[in-house]
């Protein structure tokens, strides 16, 4: 398949993109979180193409994207609290899981009685949803298992030849996927993201925290079922949990041990760490200043994709508050929960 790449999309380009969606094709489009790989959510064959293009397991449901909160009731059964959340956070980086209506095919919901709904704020995404006039099912536009796509370069790397069109939107603003909550039972945070837990608590004070968020590393063993990799670069990532001094010493020691085997190591750290890391490290990439969680969110996936000539990447365990919780969640998964307590 030849993939058309569109820069600075015009209204006429977006109409073409909407037409591709309507006839069952695939369009990579920018959103405020990450790039999405979109298809008509009402067409099971189109939705199936998303799974094929990504190499995504068919039991992992898709998020549907709508141009406005007014359309949600056509596809899902929102409880009253949904509209309270919508007033505060939508359009924006919040996905809500709710009981689904029958029009949403099982291919999209992966057989679940629920559907995940998002109303994006990015003008291109929003306009595309409006023009397509059908809900757009769109997971992140990466190959399954790889870091999500936050730049045109990454979109082309993963989706050239797999999607009909890629729309350039520059660098994604937030850089991490949406926050997902479920309102299908007790309100529960399923995935941390652009809207923080603290923000959600201002509307739902007693929101629960789902297993996949909470089963975070706390110095003890991680449940074996959690040992799969996601968001992963081509080499292993190991997270080091300790003081600055312990981190620098451990990196120096491990890097020397790897060099003895003719192997090289990379480091993912913060600006403040850079002067203290052994020059023996081959690739040293910074998430930005330690206190700037949005810089870390913005850079994380691009940095994970850019390590190339190293055998192992050592990273620091981020703080897990605010937007940091989302960075923490993605990094721990990229490391396949390989965390060393120093
Ligand atoms: P992505 O593929 O990166 O866009 O991520 C989509 C996420 O939404 C996955 O982690 C799914 O498991 C989650 N998701 C989508 N639909 C549902 C649903 N009905 N119930 C629970 N999680 C969902
Ligand atoms: Mg994804």
Write out pLDDT tens, residues 198-243.
Answer: 999 999 999 999 887 856 555 444 443 344 578 888 899 999 999 9
SS3 (DSSP) at 245: helix
Q: What is the mean pLDDT of the chain?
A: 94
The average pLDDT across 107-134 equals: 98
Sequence-distant contacts of 8-14: CB under 8 A, at least 24 apart:
8/168, 9/124, 9/167, 9/168, 11/127, 13/167, 14/124, 14/127, 14/128, 14/131, 14/167
Taking alpha carbons only, the member of 195, 191, 172 closest to residue 61 is 191
Ligand 1 atom nearest 62 alpha carbon: 15
Ligand 1 atom nearest 116 alpha carbon: 16
Ligand 1-lining residues (CB < 6 angstroms): 60-61, 63, 97, 109, 112, 114-116, 139-140, 177, 180, 190-191
Give the pLDDT score at 231. Answer: 86
- Residue keyed to tokens 């007790």: 186
CA of 99 to the centre of ligand 2 (A): 22
Query: What are 236-272's pLDDT values in tens digits?
Result: 999 999 999 999 999 999 999 999 999 999 999 999 9
CA of 242 to the centre of ligand 2 (A): 29
Give the pLDDT score at 336. Answer: 87
Ligand 1 atom nearest 54 alpha carbon: 2
The average pLDDT across 160-189 equals: 98
The average pLDDT across 298-303 equals: 97
Question: Nearest ligand, CA of residue 63?
Answer: 1
Question: Nearest ligand, CA of residue 136?
Answer: 1
Ligand 1 atom nearest 142 alpha carbon: 3
Cα 126 to chain centroid distance, Å, stands at 19
**CA–CA separation, 273 vs 84, rounded Å?**
42
Strand partners, 97: 116, 182
Strand partners, 286: 269
Give the mutation target among 59, 60, 174 for probing the ligand 1 site: most ligand atoms within 8 A of CB: 60
Give the pLDDT score at 224. Answer: 39
Give the pLDDT score at 232. Answer: 84
Are the beta carbons of 273 and 316 closer than 8 angstroms? yes
pLDDT-derived band at 319, boundaries 50, 70, 90: confident
Burial of 187 (0-12, 13-18, 19+ CB in 10 A): buried
Are the beta carbons of 34 and 176 closer than 8 angstroms? yes
- Residue keyed to tokens 């406005």: 68
Task: State the Cα angle at 85 between 81 and 90, rounded to 5°.
Answer: 140
Query: What are 12-57's pLDDT values in tens digits?
Result: 999 999 999 999 999 999 999 999 999 999 999 999 999 999 999 8
Query: What are 175-195's pLDDT values in tens digits?
Result: 999 999 999 999 999 999 999
Give the pLDDT score at 228. Answer: 56
Give the pLDDT score at 219. Answer: 47
Give the pLDDT score at 182. Answer: 97
Give the pLDDT score at 214. Answer: 59
Taking alpha carbons only, the member of 142, 178, 155, 182 closest to residue 65 is 178
Q: Give all domains of the chain, ordered by start, each with its CATH number.
A: 4-209 (3.90.870.10), 237-341 (3.40.50.11030)
Residue 281 above 60 pLDDT? yes
């Amino acid at each position: 398949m030849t993939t058309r790449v569109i820069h600075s999309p015009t209204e006429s380009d977006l109409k073409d993109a909407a037409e591709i969606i309507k006839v069952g094709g695939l369009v990579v489009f920018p959103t405020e979180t990450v790039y999405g790989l979109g298809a008509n959510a009402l067409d099971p064959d189109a939705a199936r193409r998303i799974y094929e293009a990504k190499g995504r397991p068919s039991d992992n449901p898709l998020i549907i994207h709508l141009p406005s909160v007014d359309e949600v009731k056509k596809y899902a059964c929102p409880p009253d609290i949904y509209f309270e959340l919508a007033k505060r956070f939508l359009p924006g980086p919040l996905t809500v899981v709710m009981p689904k209506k029958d029009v949403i095919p099982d291919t999209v919901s992966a057989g679940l009685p629920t559907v995940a709904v998002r109303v994006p704020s990015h003008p291109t995404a929003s306009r595309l949803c409006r023009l397509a006039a059908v809900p757009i099912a769109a997971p992140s536009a990466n190959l399954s298992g790889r870091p999500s796509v936050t730049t045109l370069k990454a979109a082309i790397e993963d989706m050239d030849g797999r999607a009909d069109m890629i729309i350039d939107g520059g660098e994604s603003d937030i850089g991490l996927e949406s926050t997902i909550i479920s309102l299908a039972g007790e309100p529960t945070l399923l995935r941390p993201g652009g809207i923080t837990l603290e923000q959600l608590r201002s509307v739902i004070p007693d929101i629960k925290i789902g297993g996949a968020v909470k089963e975070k590393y706390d110095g003890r063993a991680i449940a074996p079922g959690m040992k799969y990799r996601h968001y992963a670069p081509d080499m292993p990532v190991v997270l080091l949990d300790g003081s600055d001094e312990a981190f620098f010493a451990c990196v120096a020691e491990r890097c020397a041990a790897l060099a003895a085997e003719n192997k090289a190591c990379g480091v993912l750290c913060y600006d403040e760490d850079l002067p203290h890391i052994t020059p023996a490290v081959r690739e040293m990439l910074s998430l930005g200043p330690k206190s700037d969680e949005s810089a870390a969110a913005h850079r994380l996936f691009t940095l994970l994709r850019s390590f190339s000539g190293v055998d192992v990447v050592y990273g620091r365990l981020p703080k897990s508050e605010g937007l940091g919780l989302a960075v923490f969640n993605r990094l721990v998964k990229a490391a396949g929960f390989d965390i060393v307590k120093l």
